[in-house]
């Protein structure tokens, strides 16, 4: 059997981080099995669909390099197929009209589902459903409902595995009944547990806490300067694990190991601190060229400067702040560091004089600084730290001598003397 999976978002808003993980798990399963990843846009709710939302979905998937093999199919263009399928059920006596709507004759006996993650779930009709078990599949305005078009498309598109959020588990008995009504075997189901905030609350764009609200939407990670490799890596680990403690996982390895029964049954907790750490790891270890490419939307800069600060960032949005002293004399100075080294003025003048007579290359600058330390009978650190504060405003940062080299002679001498 060739695996066919799909991501079937409704373009009615922003792209939720949970949906992104659903797309990722579908994509991983397709890549793992050599199957096909279908993209289907569930846009039958014309009142709520927006072009902007569709763009956000397509851009988000492209940003994460989750390429689909087929589609996108648009449900809004498939009305004829749905009409045919409604007729089929009517002809079989399994659908009928009442009050202008078309209803499906829901079987009265319990539906048993074998979910690849949730296990065996037996669903009986609720008391309310038992009073009127037949549910609407075409509304009186002529529009077929979600349950119906979702099943028809999974059937027509020969989907073998439905991998989706656990919030759809309660819809599945209806879906299974519809498949059987068409004389088809339902696909295998894998309902993925939810992603919750660290405090166990639902991840929602309308959370009253703005910091938590931001976490729900993929777009915010893009603007904050997370890199796609890191976000994808982190989402792989939300609900799935390679069964060891490693956090940095090359995607090729995840593809090779990923399988549905390993997905954890419990809800995942979103740990933004871990994601941010992981992002720093990706920035640190990625090739400089890739870093320069990713830095462009964040102001870019001189490639030599970018190469210097690359290892010091957690998020790309920190770039302007971390590179400010390379492009302007107006940079913030850490008051604590400045106070600590306020008595070093004389030393820094001596250093400036020394540097004035030195070839402007990192190794020569290092030798000059160390030479002066010996002359003055002090430890090199007693020159290194105040020098760093004078030229960059802080005691932390990239390799001092490389930074001096990139800053250039004029800037460095002026700042030391100032």
Alpha helices by DSSP H, listed for 267-332, are 272-285, 288-295, 303-309, 319-327
The structure tokens listed for 238 are 């939300």
SS3 403: helix
Residue 12 or 267 having the CB closest to ligand GLU? 12
Q: In angstroms, give the least distance from the CB of 234 to ligand GLU.
A: 22
Q: In angstroms, give the least distance from the CB of 40 to ligand GLU.
A: 8
Residues 162-221 that bind ligand GLU (CB under 6 A): 162, 164, 168
Q: In angstroms, give the least distance from the CB of 42 to ligand GLU.
A: 4
Q: In angstroms, give the least distance from the CB of 22 to ligand GLU.
A: 7
The DSSP result for 37-80, as a single string, is EEEEE----TTT--HHHHHHHHHHHHHTT---SEEEEEGGG-HH
Q: Which of 5, 42, 280, 306 binds ligand GLU (CB under 6 A)?
A: 42
Biggest alpha carbon–alpha carbon distance for the chain:
100
Q: Sheet containing 188-192: give its strands across.
A: 119-123, 111-115, 188-192, 161-165
Q: Total residues at the site for ligand GLU (CB under 6 A)? A: 8
Residue 150 or 217 having the CB closest to ligand GLU? 150
Q: In angstroms, give the least distance from the CB of 239 to ligand GLU.
A: 16
- CB atoms inside a 10 Å sphere around CB 222: 19
Short-list 51, 54, 169, 79, CA closest to 118 = 169
Q: In angstroms, give the least distance from the CB of 402 to ligand GLU.
A: 49
Q: Which stretch binds ligand GLU (CB under 6 A): 2-10, 94-102, 239-247, 349-357?
A: 2-10
Q: In angstroms, give the least distance from the CB of 241 to ligand GLU.
A: 23
Q: Which long-range contacts (CB under 8 A, 24 or more apart) does 88-97 make?
A: 88/182, 89/137, 89/181, 89/182, 92/181, 94/181, 95/137, 96/134
Cα–Cα distances in angstroms (integers) from residue 38 to residues 79, 235, 268, in the given order: 19, 20, 25
Interface with ligand GLU, residue 150, by CB under 6 A: yes
Active site residue 205: yes
Residue 53 or 150 having the CB closest to ligand GLU? 150
Site string for ligand GLU, 7-36 (x = CB under 6 A): -xxx--------------------------
Short-list 66, 67, 63, CA closest to 222 = 63
Question: Is the CB of residue 284 less than 8 Å from the CB of residue 248?
Answer: no
Question: Alpha-carbon distance 219 to 228, whole Å?
Answer: 11
- Helix, strand, coil percentages, rounded to 5, for the chain: 55, 15, 35
Question: Alpha-carbon distance 9 to 215, whole Å?
Answer: 19
Q: In angstroms, give the least distance from the CB of 66 to ligand GLU.
A: 15
Residue 10 or 56 having the CB closest to ligand GLU? 10
Site string for ligand GLU, 98-137 (x = CB under 6 A): ----------------------------------------
Short-list 205, 192, 323, 317, CA closest to 267 = 192
Residue 42 or 405 having the CB closest to ligand GLU? 42
Residue 102 or 145 having the CB closest to ligand GLU? 145
Question: Is the CB of residue 15 less than 8 Å from the CB of residue 213?
Answer: no
Of the candidates 90, 92, 158, 205, the residue annotated as catalytic is 205
Residue 22 or 323 having the CB closest to ligand GLU? 22
Beta bridge partners, 161, equal: 188
Residue 191 or 388 having the CB closest to ligand GLU? 191
Residues recognised as catalytic: 205
Contact residues: ligand GLU, CB under 6 A = 8-10, 42, 150, 162, 164, 168
């Amino acid at each position: 059997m060739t695996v066919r999976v799909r991501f079937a978002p409704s373009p009615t808003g922003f792209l939720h981080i949970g949906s992104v993980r659903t797309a990722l798990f579908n994509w991983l399963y397709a890549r793992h099995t050599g199957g096909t990843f279908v993209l289907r846009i569930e846009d039958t709710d014309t009142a709520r669909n927006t072009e902007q939302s569709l763009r956000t979905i397509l851009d988000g998937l492209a940003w994460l390099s989750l390429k689909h093999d087929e589609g996108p199919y648009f449900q809004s263009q498939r009305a004829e197929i749905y009409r045919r399928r409604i007729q089929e059920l009517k002809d079989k006596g399994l659908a009928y009209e009442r009050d202008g709507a078309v209803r499906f004759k829901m079987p009265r006996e319990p539906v048993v589902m074998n979910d690849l993650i949730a296990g065996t779930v037996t669903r009986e009709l609720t008391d309310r459903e038992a009073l009127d078990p037949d549910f609407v599949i075409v509304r009186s305005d002529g529009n077929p409902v979600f349950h119906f078009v979702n099943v028809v498309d999974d059937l027509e598109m020969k989907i073998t595995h439905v991998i989706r959020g656990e919030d759809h588990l309660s819809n599945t008995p209806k879906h299974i009944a519809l498949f059987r009504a068409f004389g088809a075997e339902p696909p295998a189901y894998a309902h993925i547990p939810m992603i919750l905030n660290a405090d166990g609350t639902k991840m929602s764009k309308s959370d009253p806490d703005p910091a938590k609200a931001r976490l729900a939407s993929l777009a915010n990670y893009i603007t904050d300067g997370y890199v796609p490799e890191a976000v994808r890596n982190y989402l792989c680990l939300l609900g799935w694990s390679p069964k060891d403690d490693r956090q940095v996982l090359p995607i090729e390895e995840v593809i090779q190991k990923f399988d549905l029964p390993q997905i954890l049954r419990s809800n995942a907790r979103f740990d933004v601190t871990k994601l941010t750490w992981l992002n720093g790891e990706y920035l640190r270890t990625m090739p400089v060229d890739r870093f320069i490419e990713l830095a462009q939307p964040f102001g870019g800069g001189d490639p030599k400067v970018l190469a210097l600060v690359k290892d010091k960032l957690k998020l790309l949005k920190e770039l302007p702040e971390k590179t400010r002293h390379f492009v302007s004399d107006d940079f913030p100075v850490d008051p604590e560091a400045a106070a600590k080294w306020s008595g070093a003025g004389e030393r820094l003048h001596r250093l400036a004089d020394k540097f004035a007579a030195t070839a402007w290359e990192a190794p020569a600058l290092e030798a000059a600084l160390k030479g002066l330390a010996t002359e003055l009978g002090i430890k090199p650190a007693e020159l290194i730290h105040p020098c760093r504060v004078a030229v960059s405003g802080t005691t932390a940062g990239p390799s001092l001598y490389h930074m001096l080299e990139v800053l250039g002679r004029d800037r460095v001498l002026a700042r030391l003397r100032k």
